[in-house]
Structure 1
């Protein structure tokens, strides 16, 4: 699986418009499985990315909101309700996507804010789909 993860990260970096960083996080362990960036970052910053992603998707309040939404909509499933989250900072767009074939794996793509958001979503989704199940 590690070779496939590295390949997905490299493909995200090259095929998503204005991408400056990409990574894959295993939510079950909280580990950053692979990362590639245009700049070098200290390991503690990358570790914080993994921890923040875990909190963003599976923090106590997020899970509570997911459960309320599922209950109100009559959804009976263990599948997480939130699948994609976009966070815009001053200069960057950070896209977090659950991998369809592995619900506990999240791909992170960071692009310049000038990137077309529709293309960011479309290309990131296509790369994950084209690389098949993990």
Structure 2
């Protein structure tokens, strides 16, 4: 219940936010979701799978490892990609890896007319509170 409340509260601070979700990539489960419209369970489950592919897909993981090596990175096991922003024809999607729980991702979906910088700033500000509610 606390996670749903945290997602709902954070959505109110994100400009033109239509939906939020919190995903556990290890299990592939959508742990919490808040939307302004009804969506099928299949659509919501696909969000969890997409987040896992974005952050942990084989090609993405390999690219991150190689790029980290080539640029003199730390060589640690820390995940390379922390935030991913996707622009579609009518939506803005923000995916953010939790700092406390690196295998969990917070997602916001906003109208494309939202200011991306403001969306990202507000999303960053909400990450700790939402991930702390898990």
* TM-score where L is the length of structure 1: 0.92
Q: What displacement does 1:71 show?
A: 1.3
* Runs of at least 5 residues in structure 1 that lack an aligned partner in the other structure: none
Q: Kindly indicate whether residue 107 of structure 2 is the aligned counterpart of residue 103 of structure 1.
A: no
CA-atom RMSD in angstroms: 1.4
Q: 1:62 aligns with which of 60, 63, 75?
A: 60
Give the count of matched residue pairs. 132
Q: What displacement does 1:61 show?
A: 0.2
Deviates further, 4-13 or 73-82: 4-13
Match of 2:86 in 1: 87
**Quick check: 1:98–1:105 contact (8 Å CA) kept in 2?**
yes
**Quick check: 2:98–2:131 contact (8 Å CA) kept in 1?**
no
Q: What displacement does 1:132 show?
A: 6.7
**Quick check: 2:21–2:33 contact (8 Å CA) kept in 1?**
yes
* Runs of at least 5 residues in structure 2 that lack an aligned partner in the other structure: none
**3-state SS, counterpart of residue 51 of structure 2:** helix
> What pairs up with 1:1-134 in 2 under 5 angstroms?
3-72=1-70, 73-130=72-129, 133=132
Q: What displacement does 1:131 show?
A: 5.1
* TM-score where L is the length of structure 2: 0.92
